[in-house]
Structure 1
Amino acid sequence: MSYSTDSPQDPETNVSSEFPFDLKLVSVEDAQMAYVDTGASVDSRHSNTTALFLHGNPTSSYLWRNIIPHVSEKVRCVAPDLVGMGASYKPSISYRFAEHAQFLGGFIDKVLPEGKVLNS
């Protein structure tokens, strides 16, 4: 899927440190996970499609602050803070891949129970 704008923009001047989103919380495996959710898109052709923005270790959904506004015009955008990162709860776990996968699976089951998911 490609996204275009009406006029080219200089990426060096279109970058902001602002985080223009309100974080939501969901309980997963006795931990609160924070996430961005833009809600439904304005593009009715993709109304049941969600772009899931995942970050690496260690960072947070803040990483996607300059990307989500462009994609949210087309699809719903969801960007979780993995447990122990960003605004999410910091449980006493080893933070191995398998544990993150378990929390992320629970997150997806609760926040994205149906519909098409685009993973970025």
Structure 2
Amino acid sequence: MTRIKLFSMAVLTLATLGTSLTGASAETLWQYNHPRRAEVNARLGYQNYRIDQGEASGRISPYRAERLHAEDRTIRYEERAMARFNGGYITPAEQRALNQQENVVSRQIGW
């Protein structure tokens, strides 16, 4: 084999090994479906539905709907960051903090 082929095979092997190592460090299904995370994410999903329904019915303006969706996205990013920091789950105190933020958005949605 030529040196170029050997080098290409080595690079390909290292690249494959690197992707399999990063896949192993991803969160497990249990961590993703942890009860506290699942509750927070289900609530965010329902709030997104309420925002969409409010916009469709005319109770919420398109601009206001976008702002509410942005607030929900911020809460979701914060939940993911907390879970990353804690090894795939959120603590009860973090869940309470996220629920308080969701309460604020919920009151802004109205109905």
Q: TM exceeds 0.5?
A: no
Return the structure number with greater helix share: 2
- TM-score category of the 2 structures, normalised to the smaller one: under 0.3
**Structure with bigger gyration radius:** 2
TM-score, normalising length: structure 1? 0.27
